Structure 1
Amino acid sequence: MKNNDSIVGEVQDVDGTNVSVLISKNSLTGFIYIDGQGYRVGQIGSFVRIPQGYNNLYGIVSHVGASASPKSTEKSDIIDNRWMKIQLIGESARNGLFSRGLSQYPTIGDNVYIISEKELKNIYGQPDEPYFVKLGHITNAESIPALIDINKLITRHSAVLGTTGSGKSTTVASIIDAISDKKRYPSSRILMLDLHGEYGRSFKDKSNLFKINSDPTARIPELELYIPYWALNFEELMYVCFGESLPDKEKNMLMERIHKLKVINLKSHPKTGCNVDSLSVDSPVPFDIHKLWYDLYIETYGTYYKRDGEKPLESLAFDVDDNGEQLVGNYRNGIAPIFKNVKNEKDDPEKINHVSSALGGSGINIGRYLVTLGARLRLPRYNFVFDPTPFRPDEHGAISADVDKLIEDWIGCKQPITILDLSGVPSDIIKTVVGAVLRIIYEALFWSRNLSQGGRHRPILLVMEEAHIYLNNDKENMASMVVERIAKEGRKYGIGAMIVSQRPSEINSTILSQCGTFFALRLTNTQDRGHISSVLSDNLNGLTNMLPILKTGEAIIIGEAVKLPMRTSISPLPKPFRPDSQDPVVYDQFALDDTQAPGGWGIANEDNPNYSEVIETWRNQNPRISRVIIK
């Protein structure tokens, strides 16, 4: 070997991108000094360089050992058969610019050099380049900033993965805060799906927060979240209304009825870009689902007086209350009518028959579905979709706001970040709601791709928190189907996705494999680590072995948004702006003012606690009580 202080060994074996290196006598002490700075030799995750003429090959140390080498050697400068294995990741040409991929391989006997801090700075990039944002610094090298390429982060998709307590939410907040800087990126556009209401306080000065049962007087301003039912496509609407798809006969009947209602509304209230000939049941055109439910309920459960010259729907046999008032119900409020029983006695001139038999029932059995829909129309938890105030048609079919207002609220506001707080969405429809929101945004940006507010001219990042809840492999999962489409095609139209999860093994593998950049925080579950290894585009599986030992807030960043994989200490936001995701503290040794936790076992017990408020929040399905507003 040549006498060079930075040489750590020589190539002994090459197997594709896996290279075995015998460690030289220069590294007998385990340290190498370059320009007065010490470097540990053989640290897992450290980088090495293998010169190839004017080019340099770069690799990551994945294994080290001192056992018998697979290849014996008699050279005197090889000590005790100590070896390390390297995974090659890229190369640099004469201009010094690093690129992924390999144009050549090392040969036996090539020298292997340790990479100095100065070389790493040149490879990782300079912080003053506008398309780089700083997230923290390289672990154990505070002078080297951790920079990510915003161009490749947004359009090539990304994933933030880490177990509970690894600093996942804080990392997401730091990333979003960095890429939403109004001065550097005045037209940045980010939409966050926040399933637990964690991020409102992180971005209160540069976001619009939409929430079910919003409180305009809250410390963090809130806007009401609406997702109008008529903006859903037919399949989405079926799951929101009934919790399942319907049999073919019932489904076809409903499709025809809804299509007719949309045609009637379109004729009375014309919409730009849509006419009767092009209208489909999936078109976002208003109709009154309450009136449809009411009419179908009458046709299914109603009775009528059988009289000559009168049609069944003109002589309905409503029951009466104690005051003699007919119990006709109220379709606007989802209250069903009550009918008299069938009566067909021979000596009684008053005959009462079923409406369904008179209308020529065709074997359609929709009764139980109507009961489910009626219950949901009455439940306040579903008002955001069934009673979207400005989007709900009045008795004449008119609406105060159309879908353009919805899109403008979500992705067209002046603030760079829009947060949709979905914590109030019933769990049985969360997959459908997420799928509907993402589909509406994707369709709008896809068809407007050549306009100034389309995705090509103004890209968007869709951040999906707790993705394992709604992006599994279920074939009927609408959220998975939409995100799979975004993952495959969104890059072309400026639509990027950031998948955030603590259980990557439960996420649709097609979606995860399309992510170009991974922020891998601490993961202790073997299945989850294996899932990450299986979708990494680079030959970097050895790095996943480091995931269980990462510190809180530390991440291995791998992929297209970074030039080299890097172990990074993420810089968190100041405490008041961190996501509200911390665990409740059982006992806190610090004063209450020094912690974000609400209390614990170390504080004095409350005198006369009011448990009626506990029941009020439960009954109202709202954590905010009417008497006191928590700020």
Structure 2
Amino acid sequence: MHRAGTARHDNSESSPSTHEGPLGFVVDNSTPVIARFVSSNPPPVGDYVMIEHPGGAILGMVEQVGTRSITLNALPGVYDPTIVEKLSAEMGDEDVFFECTARLLGTVDSLRMPRLPPLPGARVYRAPSEMLKRVFGGEEPYWVRLGVLASRPDIPVYVNVNRLVTRHTAILAVTGAGKSNTVAIIVDRLVRHGGTVLIFDFHGEYVGSNLGGHVNVIDPVLNPRLLSISELMVLLGIEQRYYNQERVLRKALSQLRESGSEERGGFLETLASIVERMAHRRREESTAATAVVNKIESLQERYGDIIRDDAADPVSRIRPGYANVVDLSRVDRDAADAVVSHVLRIVLAERKRHKLTGSSQIPFPILIVVEEAHILAPRDEDTLSKYWLARIAREGRKFGVGLMLVSQRPKGLDPEILSQANNLIVLRIVEPSDQRYIQAASESLSDDLVAHLPSLNTGEAVVIGPFIRIPALVRIDRYEGRLGGADIDVVAEWVSLRRTMDEATSVDDFVSEFM
């Protein structure tokens, strides 16, 4: 019988290194995907091992480590604490061993998956650091550093920029797990290499930052003349089921655009006047027209600060080589939906025009970062942004438009859009339903990796997808600049407030004493 131990080629780079000796040995029931081995000195979860194989050494990622006792293993069914306590007094260090599971990632030389499993008794070695540096390394600007291996802080981890953009990316985690820091690290390094990024910032986290040394803040101000009928309906609050109001609005817009002239008040005032005249001319349109007039007046009161006739289109304000931040922190959900859908629609159209004609407002590839993606692309609700995000998810790679979806509620995110994000950066996720939802959207996320999501430390992430050569458990680098998403020091602010109040009281007492 051909044993795994005889399959070594000592002069080949693909052979396991024996400098440190084997960590353990393969046991029964291994497959071409999963290897089970026992060890007395196990590697930590997330670390990498090399396993002897007739076709050349195989690289594996450790996904499970469990303890076993030789004594207790020989006495199955012993669960009485008293008996276990007595037996443990007789058991030494040699009595304990570890059962480990490693996901096979491919041969060391080419990362091609084996057709046959490792043989029982095959030796398992700790993967050499120099080999891992080659696997996870990359040359800038085509690769950018994301962090280091959580199990090997001396191994930097790089991701492929082209695949990060064209294959779309999702960053998922609970609040406080490090999503904003991850976004900042990626954007900062892309911009420093000349990349153009557009961030839809719901909470003003990036407005005061210095990402890549080039930040361009774009106010969410819209010119009503440039809005589509659907975008205007969202701002007016005209739902699609109000078809009479929609018909009135379409007719009024058509008349306004055909005439090309506006009254002194501006676009919305002229539109309201046209609708009002329609109400007097046709009795069947009177109720709907009155409702539309009321909604136009309400829009002017509600969104007067973001609707301006003299506003330049937000897309025209995108600067190449910058982190362009659309500040949505001062608008409500409907306004955010209108702004985001408008920008997405124009960006995709301009990138298509550039490919077809070579002339465009956006003559450069662009990565779009969507914070709070579950709000703009909800699972069970239609929004304008959701439609355009789905379009870009399907078509964007052909035109140099990449998506980065960021969410703390993965199960609230549209599954079709999430499934188009081939790259995943998953930080701590505690909710089991969120874990299952993410796994359903990604064929590459195994049960064992999912099981580790609740126990990840802040800033640690499971990273998987075409932009990295093999799956990794990564400690994301810390962004050293300023971000608005960090937790505030509540106690310090309370103490400062109390000190200010006490000082003010003392001054008042002093003044009153000598008055």
Q: Which TM-score applies when normalising by structure 2?
A: 0.80
Aligned to 2:28: 12
Quote the offset at 1:464 in angstroms.
0.6
- Match in the other structure for 2:310: 389
**Equivalent position of 1:565 in the other structure:** 471
CA 1:134–1:452: 2 relative to 1, 3 Å:
farther
Instruction: Tell me the residue number matched to 2:156.
Output: 145
Q: CA deviation at 1:98?
A: 3.3
Query: How many residues are treated as equivalent by the alignment?
Result: 462
- The yes-or-no answer on 1:226 pairing with 2:221 is yes
Corresponding position of 1:587: 491
Name the counterpart of 1:284: none
1:408 aligns with 2:316: yes
Cα offsets for 1:327-352 (capped at 9, x unmatched):
xxxxxxxxxxxxxxxxxxxxxxxxxx
CA deviations on 1:43-96 (whole Å, 9 max, x unpaired) are 222223334445443332222335699xx99xxxx998853223233444xxx2
Within-5 A mapping of 1:365-384: 365-379=288-302, 381-384=303-306
Is 1:86 aligned to residue 76 of structure 2?
no
Deviation, structure 1 residue 499: 0.6
1:102-143 Cα distance to aligned partner (Å, 9 max, x none): 3523154372523122221122124x4531111222224232
Matched residue of 2:461: which SS?
A: strand
CA deviations over 1:578-626 (Å, ceiling 9, x no partner): 31112232213xxxxxxxxxx333544445999xxxxxxxxxxxxxxxx
Contact 1:460–1:495 (CA<8 Å) still a contact in 2? yes
For residues 373 and 501 of structure 2, what CA distance do their matches in structure 1 show?
A: 41
Is residue 192 of structure 1 aligned with residue 199 of structure 2? yes
Against the structure 1 CA distance between its residues 51 and 232, is the aligned structure 2 distance closer, same or farther, given a 3 Å change threshold? farther
Using a 3 Å threshold, how does the CA distance of structure 1 residues 17 and 454 change in structure 2: closer, same or farther? Answer: farther
Q: Which moved more, 1:45-54 or 1:418-427?
A: 45-54
- Of 257, 265, 272, 1:293 maps to 272
Question: 1 CA distance for matches of 2:123 and 2:258?
Answer: 73
Alignment of 1:124-523 (within 5 A): 124-126=136-138, 128-181=139-192, 185-186=193-194, 188-203=195-210, 205-211=213-219, 225-265=220-260, 288-300=267-279, 355-356=280-281, 359=282, 361=284, 365-379=288-302, 381-385=303-307, 387-390=308-311, 406-410=314-318, 413-450=319-356, 458-523=364-429
Q: C-alpha distance in 2, partners of 1:373/1:228?
A: 15
CA change 1:362–1:137 in 2 (3 A) is: closer
User: 2:111 is matched with which residue?
Assistant: 98
1:477 positional shift:
1.5
Q: Which has the higher helix share?
A: 2
Q: Report 1:62-73 matches (<5 A).
A: 62-66=63-67
* One-letter amino acid of the structure 1 residue matched with residue 464 of structure 2: I
Counterpart residue identity of residue 116, structure 1: P
Give unpaired runs (5+ residues) of structure 2. Answer: 7-17, 75-93, 505-515
Aligned residue for 1:12, secondary structure, equals coil
Contact persistence 2:62–2:102 (CA under 8 A): yes
Q: Which residue of 2 aligns with 1:620?
A: none
Q: CA contact under 8 A between 2:33 and 2:117: conserved in structure 1?
A: no
The residue type paired with residue 554 of structure 1 is: E
Which whole-Å CA distance do the structure 2 matches of 1:550 and 1:607 have between them? 42
Please give the alpha-carbon distance, in whole angstroms, between the structure 2 residues aligned to 1:207 and 1:456. 17
Amino acid at match of 2:306: F
Q: Distance in 1 between matches of 2:107 and 2:359?
A: 39
* CA-CA distance at 1:364 after TM superposition: 5.7
Distance change in 2, residues 1:515/1:105 (3 Å): farther
Instruction: Say which SS state the counterpart of residue 601 (structure 1) adopts.
Output: helix
CA–CA distance in structure 2, aligned partners of residues 66 and 143 of structure 1: 27
Which amino acid counterpart does residue 429 of structure 2 have in structure 1? Answer: L
Q: How far apart in 1 are the matches of 2:273 and 2:341?
A: 28
Percent identity, please: 25
Partner of 2:62: 61
Deviation at 1:264, TM superposition (A): 3.0
Unmatched runs of 5 consecutive residues or more in structure 1: 31-40, 212-224, 270-286, 301-354, 392-402, 589-598, 611-631
Conserved? CA contact 2:64–2:101, under 8 Å: yes
The alignment partner of 2:28 has SS state of strand
SS of the residue corresponding to residue 344 of structure 2 reads helix
CA distance in 2, matches of 1:550, 1:375: 48
Query: Which deviates more from structure 2 when the two are superposed, residues 532-541 or residues 519-528?
Result: 532-541
Name the counterpart of 2:482: 578
Residues 456 and 493 of structure 1 are in contact (CA less than 8 Å); yes or no, is this contact kept in structure 2?
A: no
Counterpart residue identity of residue 125, structure 1:
G
What's the counterpart of residue 494 of structure 2? 600
The Cα shift of 1:16 comes to: 6.1
Distance 1:9 1:455 in 2: 60
Q: Judging changes above 3 Å, is the alpha-carbon distance between structure 1 residues 568 and 469 closer, same or farther for their aligned structure 2 residues?
A: same
Q: Is the 8 A contact 2:463 2:472 kept in 1?
A: yes
Kindly provide the amino acid, as one letter, of the partner of residue 263 in structure 1.
Answer: E
Residues 1:142 and 1:362: Cα distance change in structure 2 (over 3 Å): closer
RMSD: 3.3
